[in-house]
Protein backbone atom coordinates (compact mmCIF):
# COMPACT_ATOMS: atom_id res chain seq x y z
CA UNK A 1 0.00 0.00 0.00
CA UNK A 2 1.36 3.43 -0.92
CA UNK A 3 1.97 5.68 2.07
CA UNK A 4 0.96 9.32 1.83
CA UNK A 5 2.58 11.83 4.14
CA UNK A 6 0.24 14.15 6.01
CA UNK A 7 0.07 17.61 4.45
CA UNK A 8 2.06 19.15 7.31
CA UNK A 9 4.95 16.74 6.69
CA UNK A 10 4.82 17.36 2.95
CA UNK A 11 5.04 21.08 3.56
CA UNK A 12 8.05 20.63 5.87
CA UNK A 13 9.84 18.49 3.29
CA UNK A 14 9.21 21.11 0.59
CA UNK A 15 10.48 23.87 2.84
CA UNK A 16 13.54 21.80 3.70
CA UNK A 17 14.28 21.23 0.01
CA UNK A 18 14.11 24.97 -0.70
CA UNK A 19 16.37 25.75 2.24
CA UNK A 20 18.84 23.08 1.17
CA UNK A 21 19.04 24.50 -2.34
CA UNK A 22 19.71 27.92 -0.84
CA UNK A 23 22.53 26.42 1.23
CA UNK A 24 24.08 24.78 -1.84
CA UNK A 25 24.29 28.18 -3.57
CA UNK A 26 26.27 29.66 -0.69
CA UNK A 27 29.99 29.00 -1.03
CA UNK A 28 31.37 30.60 2.11
CA UNK A 29 33.56 28.67 4.55
CA UNK A 30 32.37 30.74 7.51
CA UNK A 31 30.00 33.65 8.10
CA UNK A 32 29.75 35.47 11.44
CA UNK A 33 27.37 38.42 11.86
CA UNK A 34 27.56 38.51 15.68
CA UNK A 35 23.77 38.55 15.69
CA UNK A 36 23.55 37.94 19.44
CA UNK A 37 22.18 40.02 22.33
CA UNK A 38 24.42 42.80 23.66
CA UNK A 39 26.83 41.50 26.29
CA UNK A 40 26.89 37.93 24.95
CA UNK A 41 30.29 36.30 25.48
CA UNK A 42 31.63 34.77 22.27
CA UNK A 43 32.86 31.72 24.19
CA UNK A 44 29.19 30.80 24.74
CA UNK A 45 28.10 30.98 21.09
CA UNK A 46 30.47 28.74 19.16
CA UNK A 47 33.80 30.54 19.59
CA UNK A 48 36.61 28.69 21.37
CA UNK A 49 38.85 30.34 23.97
CA UNK A 50 42.51 29.57 23.28
CA UNK A 51 44.37 32.13 25.40
CA UNK A 52 43.49 33.89 28.63
CA UNK A 53 40.72 33.09 31.08
CA UNK A 54 39.41 36.52 32.09
CA UNK A 55 37.66 39.41 30.31
CA UNK A 56 36.04 37.34 27.53
CA UNK A 57 35.27 38.95 24.19
CA UNK A 58 31.70 40.25 24.23
CA UNK A 59 29.12 41.53 21.76
CA UNK A 60 28.14 45.18 21.40
CA UNK A 61 24.99 46.38 19.63
CA UNK A 62 24.50 47.79 17.05
CA UNK A 63 27.10 46.35 14.71
CA UNK A 64 29.09 48.09 11.99
CA UNK A 65 27.86 49.45 8.67
CA UNK A 66 29.67 49.61 5.34
CA UNK A 67 27.73 50.57 2.21
CA UNK A 68 27.46 47.72 -0.28
CA UNK A 69 28.85 44.98 1.96
CA UNK A 70 26.34 42.11 2.29
CA UNK A 71 27.00 41.66 6.02
CA UNK A 72 26.62 45.34 6.85
CA UNK A 73 24.32 46.38 9.70
CA UNK A 74 23.27 42.89 10.80
CA UNK A 75 23.09 42.15 14.52
CA UNK A 76 25.95 43.26 16.76
CA UNK A 77 29.76 43.19 16.65
CA UNK A 78 32.71 41.82 18.61
CA UNK A 79 34.45 44.33 20.90
CA UNK A 80 38.15 43.89 21.68
CA UNK A 81 39.02 46.13 24.60
CA UNK A 82 41.19 44.32 27.12
CA UNK A 83 44.15 42.02 27.72
CA UNK A 84 41.93 39.04 28.45
CA UNK A 85 40.66 36.04 26.58
CA UNK A 86 41.38 35.40 22.90
CA UNK A 87 38.91 33.33 20.87
CA UNK A 88 38.74 31.45 17.58
CA UNK A 89 36.10 29.88 15.37
CA UNK A 90 36.85 26.97 13.08
CA UNK A 91 36.02 26.21 9.46
CA UNK A 92 36.99 23.40 7.08
CA UNK A 93 40.81 23.37 6.85
CA UNK A 94 42.10 24.50 3.45
CA UNK A 95 45.12 22.86 1.80
CA UNK A 96 44.97 24.39 -1.70
CA UNK A 97 43.95 27.62 -3.37
CA UNK A 98 43.33 30.98 -1.70
CA UNK A 99 41.42 31.96 1.43
CA UNK A 100 39.78 35.40 1.60
CA UNK A 101 38.81 36.76 5.02
CA UNK A 102 36.53 39.80 4.71
CA UNK A 103 35.49 41.82 7.77
CA UNK A 104 34.54 45.30 8.92
CA UNK A 105 36.65 47.00 11.58
CA UNK A 106 36.66 50.30 13.46
CA UNK A 107 39.45 51.61 15.72
CA UNK A 108 38.63 53.82 18.71
CA UNK A 109 42.13 54.19 20.19
CA UNK A 110 45.62 54.83 18.83
CA UNK A 111 47.36 51.65 19.90
CA UNK A 112 49.52 49.04 18.23
CA UNK A 113 49.10 45.28 18.12
CA UNK A 114 47.65 42.46 16.04
CA UNK A 115 43.97 41.81 16.63
CA UNK A 116 42.92 39.19 14.06
CA UNK A 117 44.68 36.20 12.57
CA UNK A 118 44.25 32.82 10.94
CA UNK A 119 45.12 29.60 12.70
CA UNK A 120 44.97 25.89 12.15
CA UNK A 121 41.82 23.96 13.03
CA UNK A 122 43.24 23.28 16.48
CA UNK A 123 44.51 26.70 17.46
CA UNK A 124 47.66 26.74 19.54
CA UNK A 125 50.65 29.04 19.28
CA UNK A 126 50.77 28.86 15.48
CA UNK A 127 49.20 32.11 14.27
CA UNK A 128 49.53 33.37 10.72
CA UNK A 129 48.08 36.08 8.51
CA UNK A 130 48.19 38.46 11.48
CA UNK A 131 46.42 41.78 10.91
CA UNK A 132 47.75 44.73 12.93
CA UNK A 133 46.61 48.15 14.03
CA UNK A 134 49.60 50.50 13.75
CA UNK A 135 49.29 53.90 15.44
CA UNK A 136 50.44 57.15 13.82
CA UNK A 137 49.99 59.42 16.86
CA UNK A 138 51.59 62.53 15.36
CA UNK A 139 48.61 62.93 13.01
CA UNK A 140 45.98 61.09 15.04
CA UNK A 141 45.50 58.34 12.48
CA UNK A 142 46.49 54.73 12.01
CA UNK A 143 47.88 52.27 9.47
CA UNK A 144 47.32 48.58 8.93
CA UNK A 145 50.05 46.01 9.35
CA UNK A 146 50.44 42.40 8.24
CA UNK A 147 52.73 39.50 9.06
CA UNK A 148 52.74 36.00 7.69
CA UNK A 149 53.75 34.61 11.11
CA UNK A 150 56.27 36.19 13.49
CA UNK A 151 58.46 38.23 11.17
CA UNK A 152 58.78 42.01 11.08
CA UNK A 153 55.42 43.63 10.36
CA UNK A 154 54.81 44.99 6.86
CA UNK A 155 52.97 48.30 7.25
CA UNK A 156 50.65 50.03 4.77
CA UNK A 157 51.88 53.25 3.20
CA UNK A 158 48.35 54.68 3.42
CA UNK A 159 47.06 56.18 6.66
CA UNK A 160 43.44 55.80 7.75
CA UNK A 161 41.05 57.80 9.92
CA UNK A 162 40.06 56.73 13.42
CA UNK A 163 36.42 56.00 14.26
CA UNK A 164 35.76 55.05 10.65
CA UNK A 165 34.49 51.67 9.54
CA UNK A 166 36.84 50.01 7.06
CA UNK A 167 36.17 46.92 4.99
CA UNK A 168 39.28 44.75 5.14
CA UNK A 169 40.15 41.61 3.18
CA UNK A 170 42.99 39.35 4.29
CA UNK A 171 44.15 36.98 1.55
CA UNK A 172 46.18 33.85 2.29
CA UNK A 173 47.37 32.05 -0.87
CA UNK A 174 48.55 28.46 -0.54
CA UNK A 175 51.49 27.84 -2.90
CA UNK A 176 53.17 24.49 -3.55
CA UNK A 177 56.30 24.14 -1.45
CA UNK A 178 57.09 24.26 2.27
CA UNK A 179 57.75 27.98 2.90
CA UNK A 180 56.24 30.05 0.10
CA UNK A 181 52.59 30.75 0.96
CA UNK A 182 51.65 34.39 0.30
CA UNK A 183 49.68 36.93 2.34
CA UNK A 184 48.38 40.35 1.41
CA UNK A 185 45.78 42.82 2.65
CA UNK A 186 43.14 45.02 1.02
CA UNK A 187 41.58 47.96 2.88
CA UNK A 188 38.50 49.47 1.25
CA UNK A 189 37.14 52.88 2.21
CA UNK A 190 34.88 53.59 -0.77
CA UNK A 191 33.03 51.56 -3.38
CA UNK A 192 33.55 47.82 -3.10
CA UNK A 193 35.28 46.42 -6.21
CA UNK A 194 33.38 43.59 -7.89
CA UNK A 195 36.70 41.87 -8.60
CA UNK A 196 39.93 41.57 -6.67
CA UNK A 197 41.99 44.76 -7.21
CA UNK A 198 45.26 44.38 -9.06
CA UNK A 199 47.06 46.30 -6.31
CA UNK A 200 46.61 45.53 -2.62
CA UNK A 201 46.97 47.98 0.27
CA UNK A 202 49.75 45.68 1.50
CA UNK A 203 51.01 43.79 -1.58
CA UNK A 204 51.51 40.02 -1.49
CA UNK A 205 54.66 38.78 0.18
CA UNK A 206 56.10 35.52 1.44
CA UNK A 207 58.70 34.69 4.08
CA UNK A 208 60.87 31.75 5.09
CA UNK A 209 58.31 30.85 7.76
CA UNK A 210 56.61 27.47 7.45
CA UNK A 211 53.34 27.19 5.52
CA UNK A 212 50.07 26.21 7.16
CA UNK A 213 46.55 25.00 6.42
CA UNK A 214 44.08 27.68 7.55
CA UNK A 215 41.22 26.19 9.57
CA UNK A 216 40.22 28.90 12.05
CA UNK A 217 39.82 32.66 12.45
CA UNK A 218 40.83 34.27 15.73
CA UNK A 219 40.23 37.56 17.55
CA UNK A 220 42.93 38.79 19.93
CA UNK A 221 42.77 41.16 22.90
CA UNK A 222 46.28 42.50 23.29
CA UNK A 223 45.94 45.56 25.57
CA UNK A 224 43.40 47.25 27.80
CA UNK A 225 43.99 50.48 25.82
CA UNK A 226 42.78 48.94 22.58
CA UNK A 227 39.26 49.74 21.39
CA UNK A 228 38.61 47.67 18.28
CA UNK A 229 35.23 46.65 16.90
CA UNK A 230 35.08 43.77 14.40
CA UNK A 231 31.96 42.71 12.52
CA UNK A 232 30.70 40.83 9.46
CA UNK A 233 33.40 38.18 9.10
CA UNK A 234 33.03 36.20 5.90
CA UNK A 235 35.56 33.59 4.74
CA UNK A 236 35.55 32.04 1.26
CA UNK A 237 37.80 30.81 -1.54
CA UNK A 238 37.24 33.75 -3.90
CA UNK A 239 36.89 37.52 -3.76
CA UNK A 240 33.31 37.43 -5.07
CA UNK A 241 32.16 34.87 -2.50
CA UNK A 242 33.71 36.77 0.41
CA UNK A 243 33.35 40.39 -0.58
CA UNK A 244 31.26 41.45 -3.55
CA UNK A 245 27.79 42.91 -3.17
CA UNK A 246 26.73 40.59 -6.01
CA UNK A 247 26.68 37.73 -3.48
CA UNK A 248 24.06 39.48 -1.34
CA UNK A 249 21.40 36.97 -2.43
CA UNK A 250 23.30 34.31 -0.48
CA UNK A 251 22.99 36.26 2.76
CA UNK A 252 19.96 36.21 5.00
CA UNK A 253 19.46 39.71 6.33
CA UNK A 254 18.20 39.40 9.88
CA UNK A 255 16.23 42.28 11.43
CA UNK A 256 16.88 43.05 15.07
CA UNK A 257 13.67 41.30 16.18
CA UNK A 258 14.04 38.25 13.91
CA UNK A 259 14.62 34.82 15.43
CA UNK A 260 18.21 33.70 14.94
CA UNK A 261 20.16 30.51 15.67
CA UNK A 262 23.78 30.11 16.70
CA UNK A 263 26.29 28.62 16.41
CA UNK A 264 25.93 27.32 12.87
CA UNK A 265 26.75 24.48 12.52
CA UNK A 266 25.70 23.52 16.05
CA UNK A 267 27.35 21.02 18.34
CA UNK A 268 25.82 19.71 21.54
CA UNK A 269 23.57 22.72 22.02
CA UNK A 270 22.04 25.53 20.04
CA UNK A 271 21.14 29.05 21.17
CA UNK A 272 18.06 30.85 19.91
CA UNK A 273 17.47 34.59 20.25
CA UNK A 274 14.32 36.73 19.94
CA UNK A 275 11.83 34.02 20.97
CA UNK A 276 9.76 36.14 23.37
CA UNK A 277 6.59 35.56 21.31
CA UNK A 278 7.26 31.85 20.67
CA UNK A 279 5.13 29.36 22.61
CA UNK A 280 6.86 26.15 21.52
CA UNK A 281 9.82 24.98 19.42
CA UNK A 282 9.65 21.82 17.32
CA UNK A 283 12.59 20.09 15.62
CA UNK A 284 12.07 17.84 12.56
CA UNK A 285 14.42 15.70 10.51
CA UNK A 286 14.58 15.96 6.72
CA UNK A 287 11.68 13.52 6.37
CA UNK A 288 9.33 15.67 8.44
CA UNK A 289 9.51 13.48 11.55
CA UNK A 290 9.47 15.38 14.82
CA UNK A 291 12.60 14.75 16.90
CA UNK A 292 12.19 17.25 19.72
CA UNK A 293 9.73 19.73 21.16
CA UNK A 294 10.22 22.30 23.91
CA UNK A 295 7.71 24.65 25.49
CA UNK A 296 8.93 28.24 25.76
CA UNK A 297 8.58 30.24 28.95
CA UNK A 298 8.47 33.76 27.53
CA UNK A 299 12.23 34.31 27.77
CA UNK A 300 13.93 36.46 25.14
CA UNK A 301 16.49 33.76 24.33
CA UNK A 302 16.67 30.01 24.80
CA UNK A 303 19.28 27.24 24.89
CA UNK A 304 18.37 23.79 23.57
CA UNK A 305 20.30 20.61 24.28
CA UNK A 306 20.59 18.80 20.91
CA UNK A 307 23.32 16.36 21.93
CA UNK A 308 21.02 13.35 21.26
CA UNK A 309 20.43 14.34 17.64
CA UNK A 310 22.57 12.60 15.04
CA UNK A 311 24.67 14.69 12.66
CA UNK A 312 22.70 16.15 9.80
CA UNK A 313 20.31 18.89 8.70
CA UNK A 314 17.17 19.68 10.67
CA UNK A 315 14.18 21.99 10.47
CA UNK A 316 13.17 24.06 13.49
CA UNK A 317 9.58 25.31 13.66
CA UNK A 318 8.66 28.14 16.02
CA UNK A 319 5.00 28.13 17.09
CA UNK A 320 3.73 31.70 17.45
CA UNK A 321 0.34 33.33 17.99
CA UNK A 322 0.16 34.34 14.33
CA UNK A 323 2.15 32.40 11.71
CA UNK A 324 4.77 29.74 12.57
CA UNK A 325 8.35 30.51 11.54
CA UNK A 326 10.62 27.84 10.11
CA UNK A 327 14.43 27.78 9.96
CA UNK A 328 17.08 25.21 9.07
CA UNK A 329 20.15 24.28 11.09
CA UNK A 330 23.01 21.79 10.84
CA UNK A 331 24.00 19.46 13.70
CA UNK A 332 27.68 18.49 13.59
Q: 165: domain CATH number?
A: 2.60.120.200
pTM of the model: 0.70
State the pLDDT confidence band at 276, using cuts at 50, 70 and 90: confident
Number of domains the chain is built from: 2
**How does residue 9 score in pLDDT terms, banded at 50, 70 and 90?**
low
Instruction: Please check whether residue 2 lies inside any domain of the structure.
Output: no
| Structural domain of 225 | 33-250
Q: Where is the domain boundary, 215, 250, 285?
A: 250
DSSP-assigned beta bridge partners for residue 304 = 270
Q: Which of 64, 233, 74 minimizes the C-alpha distance to 163?
A: 64
In order, the DSSP letters of 173-237 are E--SSSS--EEEEEEESSSPPSS--SS-SEEEE--SSPP----EEEE----TT--EEEEEEEEES
Q: Among the three residues 218, 250, 282, which one is the final residue of a domain in this structure?
A: 250
Q: How confident is the model at residue 250 (pLDDT cuts 50, 70, 90)?
A: very low
Instruction: Look up the CATH number of the domain holding residue 286.
Output: 2.60.40.3080
Q: Which of 97-106, 173-182, 225-234, 280-289 has the lowest mean pLDDT?
A: 280-289
Is 159 found in the same domain as 38? yes
179 and 295 inside one domain: no
The pLDDT value recorded for residue 247 is 38
Q: Note the helical H segments in the chain.
A: 7-25, 239-242
Mean pLDDT of the region 214-233:
92
Supply the pLDDT for residue 253. 41
Do 239 and 271 reside in the same domain of the chain? no
163, 39: one domain: yes
Q: Which residues pair with 51 in a beta bridge?
A: 86
Residue 41 pLDDT exceeds 90: yes
Domain co-membership, 186 together with 262: no
> Among 222, 250, 278, which residue terminates a domain?
250
Amino acid sequence: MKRILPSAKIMLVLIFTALLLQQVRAQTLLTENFNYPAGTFLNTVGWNAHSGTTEPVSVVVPGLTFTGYPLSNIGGAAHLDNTGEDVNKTFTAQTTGSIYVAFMVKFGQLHEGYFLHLGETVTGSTHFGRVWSVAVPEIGKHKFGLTKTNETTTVSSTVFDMWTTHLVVLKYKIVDGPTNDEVNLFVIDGTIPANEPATATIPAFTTTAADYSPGSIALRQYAWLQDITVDGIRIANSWAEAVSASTAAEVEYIPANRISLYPVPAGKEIFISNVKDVTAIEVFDIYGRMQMMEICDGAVSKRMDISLLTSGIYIMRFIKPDVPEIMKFIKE
